[in-house]
Chain A
């Protein structure tokens, strides 16, 4: 057993951090926020040039690193509050294509991801399902085509994606369709999100797609579950980076803000709160490592059976519960310790708070994932 990262992994993380510090500081980000969907093509292209969009892709398609490298990168994405569709494209969809897509689909799509010419979004959640993976969107076979009907809600990064990965019911279980948002019969309602990003609701009305646009072969239920688990692991890492930055900015603020003739950071009531914030961020990082480690085990082909899948499910839910709860605590307390300035748009803290809150609300909030672990306990018993 060892949790240490090797020098190559740490230097990758360092290079992402350095790049973002130079090119994506809080003011530069503010400029991106002012753009229609928060995304900035120059930054995305620079990500591609730096190799950041190849992280976690299969080596055969120009990829570098795996789940660990992706985790370390996501920590930096969180630290810098990056608005780009990195999570959707690199952490969620590209690995789903690598996991379930045919060889030719991988060859066609993954190099475009790496080159920065293909942004992806996963259109899986539906209004009635809340956080369950209950898909009502339907694909009916008609000759060489499939006809899609249904709706997807809150498709993260759906407003900027070049291609949507859409889950739908078929006669043979779930399938994932590679859908160009401009396809006739497909309509997107685009909007901004609370944390400055963008998303879309996607409606399918007799949208006709060639059958060749089905991702891979066979039922995609398990592949979709794994994709969401990888997404959760990535979100946990993003939250860890955001929490560490939130704590750092809060400590700095309480050292400089003076009241009653001294820095408010000298007051024990505030010190103890920050100690608790530190403890929760530290343990969140442990949980992020656990979640990434479980997902990595699958990618390395070490863990394929149902027991391993069950353990992965339970640990990933445990991580999302812990991190979601910690993210809420750290965010709320950081705003509290900033006093009135915590309520202002001006400082980074309110932006971190909003992102941390939305991370909890994505792919199952802490209540949902507590339920997953709780139900597993009942299964152990029966």
Chain B
């Protein structure tokens, strides 16, 4: 047992850190750290910078053009990136559809899509949830009917993240209504420029545009854009979920937000003294710091088990529950640290470079909206209640 990184891991970390310091645009980092609005170009731009170094697919094996990092190295890379305030990896392509294509895609699909994910040419989004199919995803109704060498797809997807920016969507569709509902689902890759697709924004709790409804009206999808076999899509969708083992904990981001919370508590006055001197508030910071420590060493334990060739199983459900609760607590404490300044709604202050009144809004205006927004973390990717079902069924045998 050794809690410290090896010399090799430390030097890996130094390389990553140096690259980020030299290449991450300062204005983009500031936007990320202050929760300002990011443009598509901010995100793609950083992705391209990583691509020049061969790091745009940090989880990818070498055979598909990735760096072939170990799980611990991927973890270090993520920690360094989030700490420095890089834009997020475009997860739907790099982390979600790509592993499915690597395992189940045809050689032609691998050769076409994977390099374009790496280069940033294709931005992917996800077509999973439907108005009537949330936690019970397998009940989905969007139908794909075979006609010659194509499927004709009709239906409605929802909670589609950043689809208005996307070039491609991986989509679960119903190709059969025989047998169990899981058995009639196929996994299609759909060009967002296809005729019959319309993307409509969903107004969200914080007033920002993040998710969409996607309507599919007689959309023609060539059969060559189906991954794997017809009616086996549920298997691929499940593989995609289990592939996301530890990233789901959002550990790096929470460590960064903890530092930011402390900085805010040191900056905000309370009765003329820095808020951080208030024991009652500081104890709440200490409590979440310890929760993060517990999550961190659980994540490291999982990485260590994987490195030793053991399958940590459904433990990712535990990481999801703890990680999301921590994200929510941090965003709540950052808002509460503001006191009365949590109240004003100044959406224009979310654009970088904005200055005006109320005074200081350029640094605090994002925090209440972010608190509202982070309630999503216990709802998405399998709600925390679903995760508890998974734990009790798979780990506890109940």
Chain A interface (Cβ < 8 Å from any Cβ of B): 1-5, 68, 247, 251, 254-255, 265-266, 268, 271-272, 274-276, 278-279, 282-287, 289-290, 292-294, 296-297, 315, 318, 321-322, 370-371, 373-374, 377-378, 380-381
Residues of the B chain whose Cβ atoms lie less than 8 Å from the Cβ of A254: 398
Report the separation of the CA atoms of residues A290 and B1 in the bound assembly, to the nearest whole angstrom: 10
Report the separation of the CA atoms of residues A343 and B351 in the bound assembly, to the nearest whole angstrom: 59
Asked if B297 contacts A290 (CB within 8 A), the reply is: yes
Asked if A251 contacts B398 (CB within 8 A), the reply is: yes
Contact of B2 among A2, A271, A290 (CB under 8 A): A2
Chain B interface (Cβ < 8 Å from any Cβ of A): 1-6, 9, 72, 262, 266, 274, 276-277, 279, 282-283, 285-287, 289-291, 293-295, 297-298, 300-301, 304-305, 307-308, 315, 318, 321-322, 385, 387-389, 391-392, 395-398
Asked if A286 contacts B6 (CB within 8 A), the reply is: no
Contact of A283 among B277, B286, B298, B304 (CB under 8 A): B298
User: Which 4 A-B residue pairs are closest in the complex by CB-CB distance?
Assistant: A286-B297, A271-B392, A374-B286, A275-B388
Apart from A2-B1, A2-B308, A318-B289, 17 more pairs, CB < 8 Å? A1-B9, A4-B305, A251-B397, A255-B398, A272-B388, A276-B388, A278-B318, A279-B321, A286-B298, A287-B294, A289-B301, A294-B3, A315-B293, A373-B289, A374-B282, A377-B262, A378-B276
Q: Give the residue name and chain of the A residue nearest to B284 (CB).
A: A374
Report the separation of the CA atoms of residues A247 and B392 in the bound assembly, to the nearest whole angstrom: 12
Asked if A322 contacts B396 (CB within 8 A), the reply is: no
CB distance from B384 to the nearest CB of A (A): 9
Q: Give the residue name and chain of the B residue nearest to A282 (CB).
A: B318
Q: Return 17 A-B CB contacts under 8 Å, by A number.
A: A1-B2, A1-B3, A3-B300, A68-B1, A255-B398, A271-B389, A271-B392, A274-B398, A278-B391, A282-B318, A283-B298, A286-B301, A287-B297, A296-B1, A318-B294, A374-B282, A377-B276
CB distance from B252 to the nearest CB of A (A): 16
Asked if B286 contacts A279 (CB within 8 A), the reply is: no
Asked if B395 contacts A278 (CB within 8 A), the reply is: yes
Report the separation of the CA atoms of residues A279 and B390 in the bound assembly, to the nearest whole angstrom: 12
Asked if B4 contacts A371 (CB within 8 A), the reply is: no
Residues of the B chain whose Cβ atoms lie less than 8 Å from the Cβ of A290: 3, 293, 297
Residues of the A chain whose Cβ atoms lie less than 8 Å from the Cβ of B321: 275-276, 279
Residues of the B chain whose Cβ atoms lie less than 8 Å from the Cβ of A268: 389
CB distance from B371 to the nearest CB of A (A): 21
Report the separation of the CA atoms of residues A212 and B22 in the bound assembly, to the nearest whole angstrom: 63
CB distance from A64 to the nearest CB of B (A): 16
Q: Give the residue name and chain of the B residue nearest to A254 (CB).
A: B398
Residues of the A chain whose Cβ atoms lie less than 8 Å from the Cβ of B5: 1
Residues of the B chain whose Cβ atoms lie less than 8 Å from the Cβ of A251: 396-398
Asked if B294 contacts A286 (CB within 8 A), the reply is: yes
Report the separation of the CA atoms of residues A255 and B290 in the bound assembly, to the nearest whole angstrom: 34
Asked if A321 contacts B276 (CB within 8 A), the reply is: no
CB distance from B308 to the nearest CB of A (A): 5
Residues of the A chain whose Cβ atoms lie less than 8 Å from the Cβ of B274: 381
Asked if A374 contacts B283 (CB within 8 A), the reply is: yes
Report the separation of the CA atoms of residues A318 and B294 in the bound assembly, to the nearest whole angstrom: 8
Asked if A282 contacts B315 (CB within 8 A), the reply is: yes
Contact of B286 among A282, A287, A373 (CB under 8 A): A373
Residues of the B chain whose Cβ atoms lie less than 8 Å from the Cβ of A285: 301
Residues of the B chain whose Cβ atoms lie less than 8 Å from the Cβ of A377: 262, 276, 282, 285-286, 289
CB distance from A203 to the nearest CB of B (A): 35
Asked if B286 contacts A1 (CB within 8 A), the reply is: no
Residues of the B chain whose Cβ atoms lie less than 8 Å from the Cβ of A315: 293
CB distance from A293 to the nearest CB of B (A): 4
Residues of the B chain whose Cβ atoms lie less than 8 Å from the Cβ of A68: 1
The residue in B1, B308, B392, B396 that gathers the most chain A C-beta atoms within 10 A of its C-beta is B1
Residues of the A chain whose Cβ atoms lie less than 8 Å from the Cβ of B291: 322
Asked if A378 contacts B3 (CB within 8 A), the reply is: no
Asked if B322 contacts A279 (CB within 8 A), the reply is: yes
- A5-B1, A274-B398, A275-B392 as given contacts; A381 in contact with B290, CB under 8 Å: no
Report the separation of the CA atoms of residues A251 and B391 in the bound assembly, to the nearest whole angstrom: 12
Report the separation of the CA atoms of residues A283 and B294 in the bound assembly, to the nearest whole angstrom: 6
Residues of the A chain whose Cβ atoms lie less than 8 Å from the Cβ of B295: 283
Q: Give the residue name and chain of the A residue nearest to B310 (CB).
A: A4
Asked if A1 contacts B72 (CB within 8 A), the reply is: yes
Residues of the A chain whose Cβ atoms lie less than 8 Å from the Cβ of B4: 1
Residues of the B chain whose Cβ atoms lie less than 8 Å from the Cβ of A247: 396
The residue in A275, A276, A287 that gathers the most chain B C-beta atoms within 10 A of its C-beta is A275
